[in-house]
Structure 1
Amino acid sequence: MGLFESQGYNETTIADIAAAAGVAPRTFFSYFASKDELLFDEAETRIGAAYAAIAERRSDDSVGEVLLRSLSDVIEAGHDFGGRHGELRARLIQTVPAIRGRALQLQVDAQREIARQLHDAYSDELDQITIGAVVGAFVGAVNGAVQAMYDTGAPADPETRSAVLRRAVEASLPSWATHPMSGAS
């Protein structure tokens, strides 16, 4: 990440990264398929938090409560989009088309799988289109809030970032999505 920051993403080679890590380029490829994987190393952890929250949901949890719990779990685990690396990643997503494409690919794939799992969990109450819309609103709210935090100066502490992200998500979801399912139709 330091090389991307100091040299630029496109200017940093696999050989540069391997040399900085004290390994051969071939060793790099034993762990990563490409250098963009270094930017998205926490993506699986974030997505896994959503899967875990769905699997561990209580019978009276709303869809929004499950999604908010997964966001809280991500933040508590220290994967909350903050810090220097998060800012660098956000900047690279904005300025490097290949990184933007990779970020969108990861986002769309995750959204589809989260929506599928939520539909399986809530199939008696909500259809696939509604679930897809709620997951899209959730992901869009998180992305929009994260980008706005970087544009305006992200709060340094995780508690404030958590509150900002939670407020953004709650503002984006319909009220029935963040309250127990008994009132949903």
Structure 2
Amino acid sequence: MSLRDRKRARTRQALVEAATELFRRQGYDRTTVADIAAAAEIGTRTFFSYFASKEELLFPESDTRVEAVITAIDSRTPGEGPAEVLLRALSAVPDTGDDLVGPLAALRLELIRTVPAVRGRALQIQLDAQQEIARRLAEAFPDQLDPVRAAALTGAFAGAVTGALQVLLEDPEHLATPADLHAAVRAATDTALAPWLRPGA
């Protein structure tokens, strides 16, 4: 990464951390974009070059996960079926980080339940991601998947991840590390995608 890219990454992370703390301390509705920008020591106008709204701060890695799946589809091998590609993409997501486990993840789950704007954004992000992944799968595996089957497979995959996270984040204390959560999510997706896996995969 260039110096400019590293600086942008640090500022972006500072915004996410500031928003997480402010949302927890004073509540989502009472926290403004100006509050978050001030806590991250940037101007309000600069905030919008990083995030379109304060809801977006709760989903900082959503694009990264979609890109990981698309990369896995594009780099598929002749021996891989669509389910194997999706599971490989999940394994490519790092075990470290705060997006799927930790304060941000727990806070996001709470706000999805209690704040309609956050819930709506979460559903829109998931829907957009599923549509894009399903389209790419149908294009990559035309002999195995029509658009409906691609959508069904993608829905099973996304549903397993989402469902597992909802259960696990209810009681995060029994998960010792992010790696534990990752392993639990992998077990859920293995179960959901089992009917789609090739024999011996």
Same fold, judged at TM 0.5 (above)? yes
- Checking the alignment, whether the CA contact within 8 Å between 2:137 and 2:145 is kept in structure 1 is no
Distance 1:15 1:78 in 2: 26
- Checking the alignment, whether the CA contact within 8 Å between 1:115 and 1:131 is kept in structure 2 is yes
- The structure 1 segments of at least 4 consecutive aligned residues displaced by more than 4 Å after TM superposition are none
Query: Cα–Cα, structure 1 residues 101 and 51, in superposed 2: closer, same or farther, change >3 Å?
Result: same
Q: 1:3 pairs with 16, 22, 39, which one?
A: 22
- Checking the alignment, whether the CA contact within 8 Å between 1:60 and 1:181 is kept in structure 2 is no
- Checking the alignment, whether the CA contact within 8 Å between 1:134 and 1:173 is kept in structure 2 is yes
- Checking the alignment, whether the CA contact within 8 Å between 1:118 and 1:131 is kept in structure 2 is yes
Q: 2:185 pairs with 165, 168, 171, which one?
A: 165
C-alpha displacement of 1:150: 0.9
Show the counterpart of 1:50. Answer: 69
Show the counterpart of 1:62. Answer: 81
TM-score scaled to structure 2, two decimals?
A: 0.84
Equivalent position SS for 2:48? helix
Distance 2:51 2:115 in 1: 19
Show the counterpart of 1:128. Answer: 147
- Checking the alignment, whether the CA contact within 8 Å between 1:80 and 1:158 is kept in structure 2 is no
- Checking the alignment, whether the CA contact within 8 Å between 2:130 and 2:158 is kept in structure 1 is yes
Show the counterpart of 2:15. Answer: none
Identify the range of structure 1 (70-79 vs 104-113) with the bigger mean alpha-carbon deviation: 70-79
C-alpha displacement of 1:174: 4.1
C-alpha displacement of 1:87: 0.9
Equivalent position SS for 2:93? helix
Query: Cα–Cα, structure 1 residues 32 and 105, in superposed 2: closer, same or farther, change >3 Å?
Result: same
Show the counterpart of 1:19. Answer: 38
Show the counterpart of 1:83. Answer: 102
C-alpha displacement of 1:78: 3.8
Instruction: Please tell me the root mean square deviation across aligned C-alpha atoms, in Å.
Output: 1.9
Q: Percent identity?
A: 50
Paired residues, what number?
A: 181
Query: Cα–Cα, structure 1 residues 79 and 121, in superposed 2: closer, same or farther, change >3 Å?
Result: farther
Which ranges in structure 2 are unaligned for 5 or more consecutive residues? 1-19
C-alpha displacement of 1:152: 2.8
Query: Cα–Cα, structure 1 residues 79 and 53, in superposed 2: closer, same or farther, change >3 Å?
Result: farther
- Checking the alignment, whether the CA contact within 8 Å between 2:164 and 2:184 is kept in structure 1 is yes
C-alpha displacement of 1:173: 2.1
Query: Cα–Cα, structure 1 residues 31 and 159, in superposed 2: closer, same or farther, change >3 Å?
Result: closer
- Checking the alignment, whether the CA contact within 8 Å between 2:130 and 2:154 is kept in structure 1 is yes
State the structure with bigger RCO (CA 8 A, min sep 6), 1 or 2. 1
